[in-house]
Amino acid sequence: MKLTEAEMEVLLFSHDRLFRIGDRVTHVNTQGRYVITGVALDADTETLSVRYTYMQEDTLLVFSRSQAQMEDGRFVRTAS
């Protein structure tokens, strides 16, 4: 599926999101602390979906997770 630049902008930037780039979040079960580094498109599925990218604070590892999983209560915003 080929998207125009305008279509990509709509997918990446027009959705209401719980977290913003730069927010610090904590994973509820593990208490791991992360910083939201961006959003990305998941092109591995038949329908494109938005994913968050986030970096673990103490190791600098970068992960990505679907918007649905990030916003279902697994992560909570924490103070800086």
> What are the extents of the domains in the chain?
5-78
Span 25-48, average pLDDT: 88
Q: Is pLDDT above 90 for 10?
A: no
Q: Model confidence at 56, in pLDDT bands (50, 70, 90)?
A: very high
Rounded to whole angstroms, the Cα distance separating 34 from 53 reads: 10
> What is the reported pLDDT for 5?
83
Q: Is pLDDT above 90 for 40?
A: no
Residues sharing a CB contact under 8 Å with residue 6, sequence separation 6 or more, in sequence order: none
> What is the reported pLDDT for 14?
67
Tell me if the domain spanning 5-78 has CATH number 3.90.79.10. Answer: no
CA angle 11, 39, 74 (to 5 degrees): 110
Share of residues in the chain with pLDDT > 90 (%): 54
Coil, helix or strand at residue 5: helix
Coil, helix or strand at residue 16: coil
Rounded to whole angstroms, the Cα distance separating 8 from 45 reads: 16
